[in-house]
Amino acid sequence: MMNHTHDAHAHHHHHDHGVFHTHAPAGKMRSAFFLTALILAVEIAGGLLSGSLALLSDAGHVLTDIAAIGLSWYALKQAERPSNQRMTYGYHRAGILAAFLNAITLILIAIWILVEAYRRFQTPETVQPIWMFISAGIGLVINLSMGLTMHGSDNLNVRSAVLHMLGDAAASAAVIVGGIVIVITGWYVVDPLLSVLIALLVAYGAWRIARQTIVILMEGTPLDVDLTTVADAIGSVHGVYNVHDLHVWTIASGRNALSCHIALDGATTITESQSVIREIEHRLLHLNIGHVTIQVEDQNHPHDQAVLCAGSDLGEGHHHHHE
């Protein structure tokens, strides 16, 4: 994953592209999107034909996959779209916003499944297992083949999509097992029971998506970044006396950015400070931070020594910095 870092040094601005978008398979994502849409259609049709809530719930689960794969595909395409004066970071955040709205929708779908399952527990409905087998079987085969062909990618987006596919294959397998149980025992309550399990799976997946997007939208520290490690990496560079006003945030999944102030010896020339900055950029690249902005100061800087900005007066603090 880090194969581009060293030669990217000479032209720093290619750093983040080299690291985060290593040969991302946008074409594979596109075909995965349409295949998953096919599974959705098959499972909705099968759910209506068989009267199986478990299949309809699985269709709800497939919808989480379509969203995940669609977003991954979208993010891979957006990565190619240039930034402009209005959107200086490009359009990466659009995918995060879509993911957040999608997660909320999925939680509502999960609630609907639970309500419907509750109704069916009270009055079990007859289910046609043959349609359950056909629909879930198609879902199982397509998901497994997609998940296995895209397995092993190092792109965060693709990895999460693969997890969705494999989770969905498991849900389809559960529906098939449920159908077998219904054939043998005639115990129709298995259907809403499976639906509840799948609804919980959907809700859990949706909650995870929501939590990650909220951290990104709140400019929180990325989950894969440890702030102390980052501060130590910067502070340990030769010539850096201290680092303060440190912020790390995510532009979009897998694209982390950082800004900080570093104190150097007042006698350091601008040329000398460049090598310090290059060394910091190099170290941060290995910590998955590609977009770096550093403000260089001498040791007599008027700011607080704290690594983080002073809590409550964050706004005022920033005004003082630039006066």
pTM over 0.85: no
Q: Give the pairing type, strands 242-252 and 255-264.
A: antiparallel
The whole-number pLDDT of residue 217 equals 86
* Percentage of residues of the chain with pLDDT beyond 90: 10
The whole-number pLDDT of residue 319 equals 39
218 contacts: CB under 8 Å, gap ≥ 6: none
For 76-96, the pLDDT digits (tens) are 776 666 666 666 565 667 777
The whole-number pLDDT of residue 180 equals 92
What is the identity of the amino acid at 239? Answer: G
> Phi first, then psi: what are they for 69, rounded to 5°?
-70, -40
What is the rounded CA–CA span in Å between residue 260 and residue 247?
6
For 167-206, the pLDDT digits (tens) are 888 888 888 988 899 899 888 888 899 889 888 888 887 8
pLDDT surpasses 60 at 1: no
The dihedral formed by the CA atoms of 102, 107, 111 and 113, expressed in degrees to the nearest 10: 60
C-alpha distances (whole Å) from 17 to each of 14, 42, 88 are 5, 38, 15
> What value does the mean pLDDT of the chain take?
78
Sign of the four-CA dihedral 312, 314, 319, 323: positive
pLDDT surpasses 70 at 8: no
* Percentage of residues of the chain with pLDDT beyond 70: 78
More confident residue, 101 or 157: 101
Q: Which of 95-99, 100-104, 222-226, 273-277 has the lowest mean pLDDT?
A: 95-99
